[in-house]
Amino acid sequence: MQEVARAYSIPFPDPDAAFRLVVFPHAGSGTAFYHFLAKAFAGAGIETLTVAYPGREIRIAEPPPESLPELLATLAPSLAQVLSDGRPFIFYGHSLGGLVAFEMIRSWQAGGLPVPALFVCSGRQAPGIRGDILAMDTLSDDAFIEAVITRYQAIPREVVQHPELLELILPALRSDFRMVDRYVYRPGPRMTCPIVLANGVDDPWVEEKTLAPWENETASLTSRWFDGGHFFIRNSLEAFQDYLLASCRMRGLCPAGGA
Maximum alpha-carbon separation in the chain = 54
Assign 133 a pLDDT band (cuts: 50, 70, 90): low
Give me the amino acid identity at 170: L
Give residue-wise pLDDT tens across range 44-102: 999 999 999 999 999 999 999 989 999 999 999 999 999 999 999 999 999 999 999 99
Active site residue 162: no
Least confident segment among 53-57, 176-180, 239-243, 250-254 = 250-254
Helix axes 96-110, 163-182, angle to 10 degrees: 50
Between 229 and 138, the more confident residue is 229
Cβ-contact 27, 155 below 8 angstroms: no
Q: Is the per-residue pLDDT at 211 higher than 90? A: yes
Q: Residue 181 domain-assigned?
A: no
Active site residue 230: yes
Between 133 and 240, the more confident residue is 240
Q: Is the per-residue pLDDT at 257 higher than 70? A: no
Helix axes 163-182, 68-82, angle to 10 degrees: 100
In terms of DSSP bridges, do strands 47-51 and 8-9 run parallel, antiparallel, or are they unpaired?
Answer: antiparallel
b/e per residue 112-149 (b: at least 16 CB within 10 A): eeebbbbbbbbbbbbbeeeeeebebeebeeeebbeebb
The single residue of 9, 94, 230, 236 carrying the catalytic annotation is: 230
Q: Residue 2 domain-assigned?
A: no
Rounded CA Rg of the chain: 17
Q: Residue 98 domain-assigned?
A: yes
pTM of the model: 0.93
Q: Residue 183 domain-assigned?
A: no
Which range is most confident: 118-132, 185-199, 244-258? 185-199
Provide the domain count of the chain. Answer: 1
Q: Residue 39 domain-assigned?
A: yes
Q: Residue 57 domain-assigned?
A: yes
Q: Residue 195 domain-assigned?
A: yes
Q: Which residues form the domain of 79?
A: 8-129+189-250
Cβ-contact 102, 68 below 8 angstroms: no
Give residue-wise pLDDT tens across range 155-201: 778 878 888 888 888 899 999 988 988 899 999 999 999 999 999 99
The single residue of 95, 122, 236, 247 carrying the catalytic annotation is: 95
Cβ-contact 109, 191 below 8 angstroms: yes
Assign 2 a pLDDT band (cuts: 50, 70, 90): very low
Distance (Å, whole) CA 87 – CA 60: 30
Q: Residue 3 domain-assigned?
A: no
Q: Provide the CATH number for the domain around residue 71.
A: 3.40.50.1820
Distance (Å, whole) CA 98 – CA 127: 9
Query: Helices marked H in the chain — which ranges?
Result: 35-42, 68-82, 96-110, 141-150, 163-182, 208-211, 237-250
Q: Which of 152, 134, 131 is nearest to 231 (CA)?
A: 152
Give me the amino acid identity at 235: N
